[in-house]
Structure 1
């Protein structure tokens, strides 16, 4: 009789270990999924920070108002100023896969960018004008 109770206790312990292993495997899969989400979010934030730095660097450049389109590069940063009609300008900044745009205008022979900040989508109807060249 005691031998039968020992087998049932052993079976219960093995069942608990099996259930614990399955739970740990499920938690490990969740942890892996969350780690991938965090890595993608971290990469996205890094890209956004780089492109915002490129935009700020482009804002500080001495642009000529006599050229239709001009670009400058520094490392992975690229900034282009495009002169549009009606004394409007568009500053296009890129770094890696990220691109930001900031509109502005020509005032008394100098470039004055909009105080309302940047846009993460092309503000022009002609998408070809929004591409850095």
Structure 2
């Protein structure tokens, strides 16, 4: 055998090992980026869910004027929570969110006559709009 050809097999093996290592590192980096994106999305969801729940609770404690059917909204000045009340005949729906385009929670409530106060209906909490028509789920945003 020629002495020049003895190291070529080892060199090829090292190059293949380096290429496989580079591909593995790239795949691991991509997986870490995907996981970080998922964590960021979950963080945003939890923040919006917390704000929506706070807005819903805040809205239940507010004084609501006697009014006509339709949406009435109140905005908390410091945290910018928004609570909206939808009055439709016998049904009253309270919506809490942290602004247009954010996560919203809903609660079926009843009005205490003459006081402007709201009472939460048992099992009336919803994390989705109960109406099939999407336009009924939004106040005049």
Same fold (TM > 0.5): yes
Q: Report which of the two has the higher share of helix.
A: 1
- Between Structure 1 and Structure 2, how many residues are aligned? 131
Paired residues for 1:3-42 under 5 Å: 3-42=4-43
1:55 and 2:56 are equivalent in the alignment: yes
1:101–1:118 contact (8 Å) kept in structure 2: yes
TM-score by length of 1: 0.81
Structure 2, unaligned runs of 5 or more: none
Task: Give the conservation status (yes or no) of the 8 Å contact 1:92–1:132.
Answer: no
1:80 aligns with 2:84: yes
C-alpha change, 1:107 and 1:58, in structure 2 (3 Å) is closer
Q: Partner of 1:115: helix, strand, or coil?
A: strand
Q: Look up the SS of the partner of 2:26 in the other structure.
A: helix
Q: Deviations over 1:77-119 (max 9, x none)?
A: 1111233213x32112121411221112234544222132421
Alignment match, 1:106: 111
- Unpaired segments of 5 or more residues in structure 1? none
- Please provide the CA RMSD for this pair: 2.3
**TM-score (norm: length of structure 2):** 0.77
